[in-house]
Copies of this chain bind each other. A is one copy, B any other.
Amino acid sequence: MAQRHLDPTDPRPRHAGPAPTGDALAGYLRAQATEFLRALRLHRETGTGAGSSEGSADAARALRRSARRISASLHTFQSLLDTDWCEGMRPELAWVSGSLAMEHAYTARLERLLSALHRLSGSTAFPGPTAGAAAPAKASAPIHPTSAPERGNLTVGAAKAGALLDRQLNLARTRAHSTALQALGSSRFHAIADKVAVLASEVPLTKTAGTTDLRPLAAAAEGRLTDAVAALPLVTAGNPYNASALVHGLSPDTVPHPQDAPWHQVRLLLRLHRYAREAQRGEPNGNTVVDLRLLSAGQALNRHRDASEAAAAAAQAARTPRIAPATAYALGVLHADQRHEVEAARFAFQQCWQKETVSTS
């Protein structure tokens, strides 16, 4: 069974004071629902006007943030909540945060790949992303790969690879933007928003929830996390330059890379654990007490996910018909570079996790 990781930065003793119950959960859910509604209002105010992309992206991020927390609490503390309501709510919240996440993901992926190409090509004239977070209008703008100085075959290759990725990922982002706008305007979304509005004042707790201790449920979430971490190849990951992330890097079955899946799973479980801690502490803003090690472990896993998806995007772009060999070469270098980022992120996670285990044992 999984070991428990106590947090020495936690100012409250774990087994002293009144146990957090369903009331603490209800407070947490009401606060997240209020935050959801606030973000939604903000998004409607900033979303469609020109020059407001920054605020709109912030609002979308806040919407996703609260949707994730509500959804996670419904998962972890399911037994304290009305079953039908939970089962109706969770897929809808997942749909909301999924719809809103894609645009940001494509933006970040393009930024990551272009900045890697910039680093790899050593060209200061290499262009950055052509568009900001919520300005998909540029996606159809003409691409001028030759505007970068032609300093030999490979630099042209890097520029062409950048232009290709820019075109493909901007197109995907534009579609994601439309999908998100459609989602937010749909009757399905309005139904969810109504339910969240009710949740902001009235949490459907079970009859016994008010006296039920949250801690065993939160501990179970932590147990699922530590079990999943124990199944990761952490010994390999802690050995720098183990070259395991690029194994089968030229195999055709590698998009998405099967070896990444357990790490993605741990990323989700780590998030569930973090939100369960927030809920049992009744922290309305979710970050009053921050466990820096949990946070940095989570950041390493985010980096892992981002690099994994960026590597897949580079491999995917290399399958575009009729590209020049120099473009394909640059995409191959880029793919391998991002797979090494995957390996580096696993190493970083192992270092964080080991620190945690050592300091609490």
Given contacts A241-B240, A247-B120, A332-B333, contact A155 B252 (CB under 8 A): yes
> Which residue among A318, A330, A333, A344 has the maximum number of chain B CB atoms within 10 Å of its CB?
A333
Give A324 to B330 CA distance when docked, in angstroms: 14
Copies in the assembly, this chain: 2
Q: How many Å from the CB of A27 to the closest CB on chain B?
A: 42
A246: interface (CB < 8 Å): yes
Give A188 to B165 CA distance when docked, in angstroms: 57
Question: Chain B residues near A250 (CB, 8 Å)?
Answer: 117, 120-122, 154-155, 157-158, 330, 333
Known: A154-B250, A333-B336. 14 other contacts (CB 8 A): A120-B247, A122-B247, A122-B251, A151-B252, A152-B253, A158-B250, A243-B337, A246-B337, A249-B333, A318-B325, A318-B326, A328-B328, A328-B329, A332-B334
Give A253 to B341 CA distance when docked, in angstroms: 24
Question: Chain B residues near A323 (CB, 8 Å)?
Answer: 325
Give A243 to B341 CA distance when docked, in angstroms: 9
Which residue on B lies nearest to A340, using beta carbons?
B340
Q: How many Å from the CB of A345 to the closest CB on chain B?
A: 9
Q: How many Å from the CB of A103 to the closest CB on chain B?
A: 28
A123: interface (CB < 8 Å): yes
Give A151 to B335 CA distance when docked, in angstroms: 19
Interface size in chain A (residues, C-beta < 8 A): 49
Binding site for B on A (CB under 8 A): 117, 119-123, 151-155, 157-158, 240-241, 243, 246-254, 315, 318-319, 323-337, 340-341, 343-344, 347-348
A120 and B248 contacting across the interface, CB-CB below 8 Å: yes
B243 and A240 contacting across the interface, CB-CB below 8 Å: no
Question: Chain B residues near A331 (CB, 8 Å)?
Answer: 329, 332
Give A123 to B250 CA distance when docked, in angstroms: 9
Q: How many Å from the CB of A23 to the closest CB on chain B?
A: 46
Question: Chain B residues near A251 (CB, 8 Å)?
Answer: 120-123, 151, 154-155
Q: How many Å from the CB of A339 to the closest CB on chain B?
A: 8
